[in-house]
Amino acid sequence: MRATELIEIINSLVEQRVPTFLWGAPGIGKSSIVKQIAKERGVGFIDLRLALMDPTDLKGIPFYDKESHTALWAPPAFLPREGEGILFLDELNSAPPSVQASAYQLILDRKVGEYELPDGWAIVAAGNREGDRGVTYRMPTPLANRFVHFEMEVSTEDWRFWAYKNGVNEAIISYISYKNEHLFTFEAKSEAKSFATPRSWEFVNSILNGNISKELLLDTLSGAVGREVAVSFLSFIKVMHKLPNIENILSTGSGEYSDEIDVLYALSTGLVSACLRDKNEEYLENLLIYTLGLKGEFAVMIVQDLQRNGITMEHSKAFKEWVQKFAYLLA
């Protein structure tokens, strides 16, 4: 399922306190969407990496109680005591069976040892699939049956929406729009240590924002997304100097047009980013006028990206003309 669909579903299940398990390949953003849900709901978020834990980390350490003459468990301080939130059990199926057994009690009874999960907290877990070359343990059937299971897929459209919203470098958004297949190049049978994923493109964004010299840039990017993708990406960046003047287009509604596909992808991303940075009604009107001369698929991509990011344009005179011209592509 796509991230946008999963966000809606998990939101509903969190509301009902139904334990949810999110499966997917490494680096596709499983933990990110759960964290986003918590942020948008305005509740707490605790991320527990179970693969790094021992059984006592969840259950706590036993101690002798003098008054009752019994052994009690001192619960860990990192578990929530009050309020509302999402307890995220990441890498659950990568945890040893003994740790999974401790998690099972927490998921089944919402308590473990002397600890009880507050009513306002929901449990969401995630893990890599068994065929993804990660360290995984087969999840016991009783534990698996305590979850509602979903498998997350990589969606370029969803990623582009997220990238615009989070200020990802325009060159990266343009490139992924142009080369969809390079958003995620992970192959379970490959021995490559570096490959492209939504997570590794975040690394690329940080690299581009850094001060790495041009001589070292290719090797650095290769370490994040692999050599082949890095070479292709840097080649694509070279088309950026061919772009028409974006400021002039937004100010006047006119400008040069290109027939080169890679230039059109870069131009479309640049125009959308500029409009999102400065939500000026005049800019929007001029942009719509300019898109009337663009190839249809790029005019539609620009408008859909703007709409997905909350820009309304139904009131625009130019948009009415735009709809008449490109309605056949929207059917």
Is residue 33 within 8 A of residue 10, CB to CB? The reply is yes
Six-digit token string for 91: 């890498």
Whole-number pLDDT of residue 72:
72
pLDDT surpasses 80 at 137: no
Residues with Cβ < 8 Å from 279, sequence gap 6 or more? 311
- Percent of the chain past pLDDT 70, that is, above it, reads 96
pLDDT surpasses 60 at 331: no
> Closest Cα partner for 147 from 10, 301, 316, 294?
10
Average confidence score pLDDT of the chain: 89
> Closest Cα partner for 297 from 253, 264, 250, 257?
264
Whole-number pLDDT of residue 135:
61
pLDDT surpasses 90 at 41: yes
pLDDT surpasses 60 at 11: yes
Higher pLDDT, 246 or 328: 246
Whole-number pLDDT of residue 133:
62
> Closest Cα partner for 270 from 35, 283, 194, 282?
283
Whole-number pLDDT of residue 131:
66
Per-residue pLDDT tens digits for 78-136: 889 999 999 999 988 888 888 888 888 888 888 887 788 999 999 999 988 776 665 67
Whole-number pLDDT of residue 132:
62
What's the rounded Cα separation, in Å, for the pair 38 and 314? 32
Residues with Cβ < 8 Å from 247, sequence gap 6 or more? 274
Encode burial over 166-185: b for 16+ CB neighbours within 10 A, e otherwise: eebbbbbbbbbbbbeebbbb
What's the rounded Cα separation, in Å, for the pair 27 and 5? 18
Whole-number pLDDT of residue 103:
84
Record the pTM.
Answer: 0.79
> Domains of the chain by range and CATH?
3-151 (3.40.50.300), 156-330 (no CATH)
CA-based R_g, the chain, Å = 24
Whole-number pLDDT of residue 123:
95
Whole-number pLDDT of residue 134:
59
What's the rounded Cα separation, in Å, for the pair 131 and 161? 29
What's the rounded Cα separation, in Å, for the pair 171 and 20? 36
Whole-number pLDDT of residue 39:
94
Whole-number pLDDT of residue 53:
83
pLDDT surpasses 90 at 59: no
Q: Give the torsion through C-alpha atoms of 202, 204, 209, 215, to 10 deg.
A: 170
Quick one: DSSP state of residue 140? P
Six-digit token string for 327: 């309605």
Lowest mean pLDDT among 53-62, 89-98, 175-184, 236-245: 53-62
Per-residue pLDDT tens digits for 173-228: 999 999 999 999 988 777 888 999 999 999 999 999 998 998 999 999 999 999 99
Is residue 59 within 8 A of residue 73, CB to CB? The reply is yes
Q: Where are the beta strands (DSSP E) in the chain?
A: 20-23, 44-49, 61-65, 70-74, 85-90, 111-112, 115-116, 121-127, 148-151
